[in-house]
Amino acid sequence: MEKKFFKLFSLILAAFLTVSLFAGCAKENGDNDEPNKGQDMDTGKGDDAITEAQEEEFSYPMDTNVKVTWWHGLNPNVSKSFESANETEFAKELEKKTGIDIEFMHPTSDEQFGLMVATGELPDIVEYSWDKFYSGGTPKAIEDKVIIPLNGLMEEGYMPNYVKWLSENPMLDKMIKTNEGLYGGLAPIEDGKSILGPLVRKDWLDDLGLDRPETSDEWYEMLVAFRDKKGAEAPMTKRSSRFATFFHSIYGVGTSFFVEDGKVHYGPYDSRYKDVMGLVNHWYKEGLLDKDIVTMNKNLEYAKMTNGTSGALVGYTGHISLLEDIARETDSNYTLTATKWPVLKKGDTPKFGHKSWAFSLNNRVASITAACKHPEIAARLLDYIYGEEGQMLANFGIEGISYNVEAGGKIVPTEIMHNDPDERSFFQMKGIYTRSYATGPYVRHPQMTTFDLTLPSQWEAVELWSDSNELDHKFPSIRTDVADAEEMGNIMAQIKTYNDEMYLKFLLGEESLDKFDKYMDQLKKMGIERAIEIYQKAYDRYLSD
């Protein structure tokens, strides 16, 4: 497959630019102290590739004495119980099911990742946000021979589960591979559901005889009632970024880049953005929005939502149970309910909310490094997790211990997951048995969202918040050309700073909306139209591939 190689920068410099994702790096991999001299850049196969890939009846566990080293950051949900992922039941079960001896390795210092990249002393598998933190992204990491393209391993049959999944999801396949058609790693695949959205005091709605609001007018009526009849000093509270999402939903304009009728737009450089900021400022001046939004923190937000100061916020499913538990210590009637993202006209489906593409370039992917002596074994290990059995292990753990399957196929956590004798939290228990305590190289199961939740009101919230057309308009997670990416970064760095500043000024009334045209002119001078042009080119290529 033809590749377009870009001008080679200093490897050491590139490596050190990537350090910021983790708090450190893995210990040295003594088994793989030299890069694989026989590594084929085009196929991703070593000289001693196993023959099972050519057999029709391959099955796990494998019969191999090869040890695979796997580097990733140690999530707090695991580190609160163990010093290493090797000690988890998930790791033990994964070894048992695959027949592969696995050594998980974790960051130990901020500098170690850059050093191991610069020296080539890499483990077999590295989970890293290459496109976010590595200078030049995945294409450059492949060009620098830090990681290998997986194309050959996929074509030779070592990764049938991953290949099958990509073939069934062609649009995501386009996002995952590079512009040259190379696969740099196995991607975390989310379910596309939303776990964040508007929440309101249902007990207050019932007392006031109000239905759940759908439109901006109904929201206004409700917040005024909370202020005037319930004595709420800050009827709606939340940090300013969530307010932005809420108001952009009303006018159907993205908070950043979005797509309408095949054309790329930038939300704050859209005529409707003036309407967005006009409504934000109006509600703020009337005392419907929290005056503390600029300095808001988590604890203050919780206090206001549970002591009668506020009656609405934009929050997560977890806020429902958390805030109800806190408030019911003094108010047994306290109840929260979700609403859809607001719209202008009743009955309309929200155009935007908080849904995400199942794949994001910002995510960590699991890559096989150029130092791996047995890439075919590493590929088999990673591919297992994308099969049906591996997906269940990654998402739910071990059947009969961490989960059960009820009649009808509903997957539910066992008693120990929510009531651990050692009082570990649900997500700490997931850290023992699963990989779904955080994103990782696995496909999120369709039932994973309900598995994590305990209340019917939380399940309803997910359905309400996910009911939008956002993915028809959200700009996909796709790569631009390398030269364009650098230019784009320079343009958007200053635009983001300027937008953040002007958003607060418009909200607080420090800048009159009479000067909106001046604001738009400044964005134009900063290069926003060039940024839109760059993304339009990338989007057109994405559609045509």
DSSP track, 78-96? HHTT-SSGGGSHHHHHHHH
> What DSSP string runs through 177-241?
S-TTS---SBPPB------EEEEEEHHHHHHHT-PPP-BHHHHHHHHHHHHHHS--SSSB---HH
Distance CA 116, CA 30 (A): 12
| CB of 317 closer than 8 Å to CB of 461 | yes
Residue 55, both tokens: 């057999």
Q: What is the pLDDT of residues 188-205, one digit of tens each?
A: 988 878 899 999 999 999
Q: Considering just the CA atoms, what is the radius of gyration of the chain in Å?
A: 25
pLDDT attached to residue 53: 47
pLDDT attached to residue 83: 95
The strand ranges marked E within 237-293 are: 257-260, 263-266
Burial bucket for residue 271 (CB in 10 Å: 0-12, 13-18, 19+): exposed
pLDDT attached to residue 340: 96
Neighbours of 19 (CB within 10 A): 20
- What is the chain's percent helix, strand, coil content, to nearest 5? 45, 10, 45
pLDDT in tens, the chain (545 residues): 433 333 333 333 343 334 333 333 333 333 333 323 233 334 444 444 444 444 457 899 999 999 999 999 999 999 999 999 999 999 999 999 999 999 999 988 767 788 888 888 999 999 999 988 888 899 999 999 999 999 999 999 999 999 999 999 898 899 999 999 999 999 998 887 889 999 999 999 999 999 999 999 999 999 999 999 999 999 999 876 667 889 999 999 999 999 999 999 999 999 999 999 999 999 999 999 999 988 888 899 999 999 999 999 999 999 999 999 999 999 999 999 999 999 999 999 999 988 877 788 888 999 999 999 999 999 999 999 999 999 999 999 999 999 999 999 999 999 999 999 999 999 999 999 999 998 899 999 989 988 988 899 999 999 999 999 998 999 998 888 878 988 999 999 999 999 999 999 999 999 999 999 999 999 999 999 999 999 999 999 999 87
Nearest by Cα to 149 from 9, 247, 273, 5: 5
pLDDT attached to residue 39: 35
Q: What is the pLDDT of residues 356-368, one digit of tens each?
A: 777 888 889 999 9
pLDDT attached to residue 301: 93
pLDDT attached to residue 2: 37
Neighbours of 240 (CB within 10 A): 18
Distance CA 443, CA 465 (A): 21
Distance CA 153, CA 139 (A): 18
| CB of 245 closer than 8 Å to CB of 255 | yes
The strand ranges marked E within 25-139 are: 67-71, 101-105, 125-128
Distance CA 174, CA 151 (A): 14
Give the single-character DSSP code of 134: S
Cα angle: 430, vertex 431, 433; to 5 degrees: 60
pLDDT attached to residue 242: 67
Q: Is the pTM of this model over 0.85?
A: no
Nearest 5°: phi and psi at 105? -125, 145
Exposure b/e, 420-430, CB count within 10 A at least 16 = b: eeeebebbbbb
Coil/strand/helix, residue 265: strand
CA dihedral 113, 115, 118, 121 (to 10 degrees): -80
